[in-house]
Structure 1
């Protein structure tokens, strides 16, 4: 198990969420377009996440990548348009998600996604802790 995977497992346990994932990107050698993929996960119910390929601005990973800001949404399973736009929420049956960019040298290098399979009220203290975890991940990239 890699150090990054160990850290993702640790974050899931410490923050007591149902699902944790880290998206990283690479330039597709054929299309020369940046592909964003959920590469490290904990708490997944299946392997469908491995097929998700996002582009900058698309999906949770792509939105956070483009804006460089956190993302938060809840009650997702009752919003069909969100389930289409955010495939990870559909595949993992997530109701509440929080995502933060992982910065390195003033550039987004990854996206940390935290999710609950139930509708969850997220306190400010949790958002602060989640953002700190995203900052901690930078040293692993």
Structure 2
């Protein structure tokens, strides 16, 4: 799926609304981009960003928050980045570093049988997003986000 394939849904407005409604510090949508026969993920829409570094982040399957969610097809929750990842491994998570995220969750977005995007929500303080609040957020989205499907409320 490319940007041209997306229906006329204002994803920027959608993520701005999510950030305001849930009081997240940061919300972003990464979409799969074809790149020389290998698919990569790039952050296409952001809200609450501190800088524009997200524009240079390109992730492959299994790398970074979006790449891991893309590969496993399940949501992930990091309640406290410092204890869940550790400072030595943070370089593998460029969006966390560039946006100084400390508590976050990410959901796979599906089109048919394929993950085609990742919705990331987060806070710049530890332990703000927990399992009950992340599950409540997922339930509030329902089974769709724009043109994409949300398959399950997972238990990370």
TM-score, scaled relative to structure 1 = 0.87
CA shift in 2, pair 1:135/1:102, >3 Å = farther
**Structure 2 partner of 1:83:** 90
**Structure 2 partner of 1:48:** 53
Q: Secondary structure at the match of 2:60?
A: coil
**Structure 1 partner of 2:147:** 139
| Structure number having the greater helix percentage | 1
Shift, 1:134, TM fit: 7.6
Aligned length: 138
**Structure 1 partner of 2:107:** 100
Structure 1 runs not aligned, ≥5 long: none
RMSD of equivalent CA atoms: 2.1
Alignment check: 8 A CA contact 1:25 1:109 kept = yes
Shift, 1:35, TM fit: 1.3
Alignment check: 8 A CA contact 1:20 1:41 kept = yes
Structure 2 matches for 1:12-23, cutoff 5 A?
A: 12-23=19-30
CA shift in 2, pair 1:123/1:93, >3 Å = closer
How big is each residue's C-alpha offset from its partner over 1:56-88, in whole Å with a ceiling of 9 and x where there is no partner?
A: 110000000000001111332572233111110
**Structure 1 partner of 2:35:** 28
How big is each residue's C-alpha offset from its partner over 1:34-61, in whole Å with a ceiling of 9 and x where there is no partner?
A: 1100110000000001000000110000
114-123 or 77-86, larger mean C-alpha shift: 77-86
Q: Secondary structure at the match of 1:24?
A: strand
C-alpha distance in structure 2 between counterparts of 1:35 and 1:76, whole Å: 24
Alignment check: 8 A CA contact 2:69 2:106 kept = yes
Alignment check: 8 A CA contact 1:77 1:94 kept = no
TM-score, scaled relative to structure 2 = 0.79
Structure 2 runs not aligned, ≥5 long: 1-8, 150-156
